[in-house]
A and B are shown apart, each in its own frame.
Chain A
Amino acid sequence: MAQEDKENVIDQPEVIRHKMVTIEIAGKKYEVPEGITIIKALWYSGQEVVRGAGCLGGFCGACAAYYRTKDDPKVRTCLACQMAVQDGMSITMMPPFPARKATYDIQTLDNPKQDLFNLYPEAPLCRNCNACTEACPQQIDVREGVWKAVFGDFKSVSEMFMDCVMCGMCTPVCIADIAPNLVALYVSRAEGAHFTEKPLGLDTRIKEIQDGRFNDEWAKILTMTEKELADHCAKVK
């Protein structure tokens, strides 16, 4: 194992001292090690987690949570697998919010920019309060995105929402009952399916495969002995 090398050791105070902090989970107090994530704090406090945990890597949006830090009235949002606990923090997980998702056939949309108003008629009712943007743990300018969607700038919306993990925390705060993440998802898909250039090279490749352009190469490769194939592969750099 590793030879002792005191020169190259990172000092992590929270780990050395294992300092305990008091946090409040859904109204009940627990002592947990400082610096662990909220999800880990749930486990540490003995709670089974079924809902509210998913990828544990900040990508799936399953662990939407609200929190408040000591003596601060401001309630903030986070992904519980990505947020470290600190002393005096008060936390609760956000249950799935019953937002309405419109259903559509993305490929046969007639006029995707106009269809937005049929699918999500509440989208143009944004009252500019900015609560959605403040709620977004991915730092997306959600309010701006909703406006851009309504004004038909689908390309910008799709770029802005590439970070969206669909946690849905923008939805319960909307005073106009918009589900901005769902609006943005529709807009991004429409942008991809209807307003983005078809890559010609891809069609060429599909046709080449259909026309058997690689058949001779396949025949050669697939009839090689193990040794011949290994030698052939070794030559590829």
Chain B
Amino acid sequence: MDVHALQQIVHRTRDARRKQTIPKLPPAERDQLIHKYHPDYRASAYRPIRFGPNADDKTVVELATLLEGDSPIADGFDLTPDYQTDVLVVGGGGAGCAAALHAHGAGAKVILATKLRLGDSNSVMAQGGMQISVAPEDSPVTHFVDTLKGGHMQNDHQLLKVMVEEGPSIAKWLLSLGVLFDRDGDGNLHVKKGGGSSKPRLLTCSDYTGLEIMRVLKDEVLNQKIQLLEFCSAVELTSDEEGNCTGAIFKDLDNHRHVVVAAKSVILATGGIGRLHIQGFPTSNHYGATGDGLCLAYRMGAKLMHIDTFQYHPSGAVYPEQLIGALVTEGIRSEGGHLVNAKGERFVNELDTRDVVSSSIIRECEEGRGIRTMSGRIGVWLDTPLLDAEQGPGTVEKHFPAMMMQFERFGIDISKDPVLIYPTLHYQNGGVKINTDSETNVKNLFVAGEASGGLHGRNRLMGNSLLDLMVYGKRSGLTAASRAGAMKQGKLTLMHLQRFRTDAKMHGNLSGVTSPMILPAYTRKE
């Protein structure tokens, strides 16, 4: 059948559904649903890591393989530095830019190296907003409680407390740099309610929140003349005799030469792993999201945490083919958009946490109430025209211009027709374990943003990532910079790598791959 014929069920049932309220699931039912349908609970997708700091911990096969992978750097590699700096930031997304700006602002010499261009990251794609408790009826404590609840009570309390308390000052910093957050009539910051939150708390810049923040931060990095190494992908770290981090080795993707940077501190802000396509899921992540930082930190001896849990954003596009995996912002649901199965029924409270909503969509599809495309993809409807019906014509266009344009390119007007969605691999909940200074158990090795773990527990709440980036980007930058003056540059050795290789050999070198992956292998080879 053609797509328009199948969409009729959504139009026909709209008025009846509008009268309906669906309660959020009580804890017991929600756990049951998640255990049965969430991809995190698909045992066959997991295996234990064989050696290293997380030996015997389970993670997805794709990640375990990379973590056990060998470094591309040979033992006798010439470690004569090409550059020397106080603070080396690896990664040019939100956390990397924030870290670089704060370290630079505190007087340190900073080099920012990034695999693709400055700014290419998941941060730039963040549409939904940034959670900060600014509303009078809200508080940092409420933000803390909501996040804890969303994270299945597994969040690191200290990391979380710091994040929610520093949120408002981050908003002030961004405003001072010229970020244009949406405002209320009285000039105050406009707040929207996000999934899993008890209070409206999302600061937004239309549906371009990440783009607007990143445009400004990138511009600021350039204005501050922070030294950049673009198209340089980190492939190994260096350590001194005590195992402290002392720099990094990069592969210049233009000429395939290696570049050695000696640094007093290294901040890994390398983002997540969507492009590993774990369990075969499409992803909303950018091209470079291959989890490089995890591999580097792991070989260095840094402990990872919560790397068995990933976020599947409930609404990734399923149709048309060109948009597979692309995000359909949660904003649509937070403004009241319904999820509708093939029978025209709602089946979940759309504002429940992402894991609950994703699980329930998977349930609908697995139990035969999904809509299938001829390419074998399956999904449920998201009733986008409902927003215009509820709030007046033009609402979708006004509130979600980015999404409108994305679908318009393929002849789909989302203000008139519902879109077909299915969960897409969106976020790595865990990562490298850090303390409230963003430092790992390896001295002078910091991790900020999505590559770090602990803050979000086992499920991240919408809008908390943009804040995480800014808070821990800042803290890593400031801590690294404050140390630089009193510190000597440590020796550059590969002793950690020798240890890692010995360990790997003892376990039979089972992985057989070289890591990090750098870029996904999409090129067709024949």
Contacts and interface: CB of A to CB of B under 8 A. Distances in A.
A92 interface: no
A2 B523 contact: no
A101, A107, A166: residue with the most chain B Cβ atoms closer than 10 Å: A166
B188 A12 contact: no
B135 interface: yes
Interface string A93-124: 00000000101111100000000000000000
B117 A193 contact: no
A72 interface: no
Interface in A1-38: 1-3, 5, 7-12, 14-16, 35-37
B149 interface: yes
Interface stretch (B96-104, B404-412, B477-485, B509-517): B404-412
Given A9-B1, A104-B223, A106-B220, A162 B206 contact: yes
A192 B322 contact: no
B141 A209 contact: no
Contacts of A226: 153
B137 to A, nearest CB: 11
Interface stretch (B52-60, B207-215, B291-299, B427-435): B207-215
Contact of A62 (B117, B165, B366): B117
A161 B222 CA distance: 20
Q: Chain A: interface residue count, which band?
A: 35 or more
Nearest to A235: B145
Nearest to A104: B223
A201 B188 contact: yes
A5 B226 CA distance: 57
Interface in B123-175: 124-125, 133-136, 139-142, 144-146, 148-149, 153, 157, 161, 165, 168-169, 171-172, 175
Contacts of A229: 148, 153
Q: Chain B: interface residue count, which band?
A: 35 or more
A53 B115 CA distance: 12
A236 B180 contact: no
B194 interface: no
A147 B402 CA distance: 24
A171 interface: no
B526 interface: yes
A14 B119 CA distance: 34
Interface string B171-202: 11001111110010001110000000010000
B250 to A, nearest CB: 14
B86 interface: no
Contact of B178 (A15, A162, A193): A193
A101 to B, nearest CB: 6
Contact of A202 (B177, B189, B222): B189
B183 A197 contact: yes
A105 B220 CA distance: 8
Interface string B404-442: 011001100000000010000000000000000000000
Given A60-B125, A236-B142, A11 B374 contact: yes
Interface stretch (A125-133, A172-180, A213-221): A213-221
Interface string B109-120: 000000011011
Interface in A32-48: 35-37, 40, 43-48
Interface in B250-293: 253-254, 284, 286-287
A43 B140 CA distance: 46
A221 B123 CA distance: 31
Contacts of A57: 125, 284, 286, 326-327, 406
Contacts of B240: none
A44 B327 CA distance: 23
A7 B365 CA distance: 14
B522 A43 contact: yes
Interface in A188-223: 188-193, 196-206, 209, 214, 217-218, 221-222
B81 interface: no
Given A192-B179, A198-B175, A199-B175, A2 B365 contact: yes
Contacts of A232: 145
A54 B180 contact: no
Contacts of B179: 192
Nearest to A13: B374
Contacts of B401: 162-163
A229 B152 CA distance: 12
A88 interface: no
A15 to B, nearest CB: 4
A84 interface: yes
Contact of B321 (A12, A59, A163, A164): A12
A185 B157 CA distance: 38
Contact of B176 (A50, A107, A139, A188): A107
A96 B370 CA distance: 43
Nearest to A1: B366
A143 to B, nearest CB: 19
A82 interface: yes
Interface in A141-169: 158, 162-166
A138 interface: yes
Contact of A45 (B134, B180, B409, B524): B524
B322 A2 contact: no
Contacts of A203: 172
A171 B342 CA distance: 47
B52 to A, nearest CB: 29
A213 to B, nearest CB: 8
B153 A230 contact: yes
B3 to A, nearest CB: 5
Given A62-B117, A101-B219, A197-B183, 14 more contacts: A2-B365, A2-B372, A5-B342, A5-B372, A7-B342, A40-B322, A54-B120, A55-B121, A57-B326, A103-B225, A162-B205, A199-B175, A201-B135, A202-B188
29 contacts: A2-B366, A9-B1, A10-B420, A11-B3, A12-B321, A12-B373, A15-B374, A35-B322, A43-B522, A50-B254, A54-B124, A54-B286, A55-B124, A57-B286, A58-B402, A107-B177, A188-B178, A188-B180, A189-B177, A192-B179, A192-B180, A199-B189, A203-B172, A205-B134, A209-B165, A218-B161, A226-B153, A236-B142, A236-B198
User: 4 tightest CB-CB pairs across the interface, nearest first?
Assistant: A189-B178, A192-B178, A3-B368, A197-B187
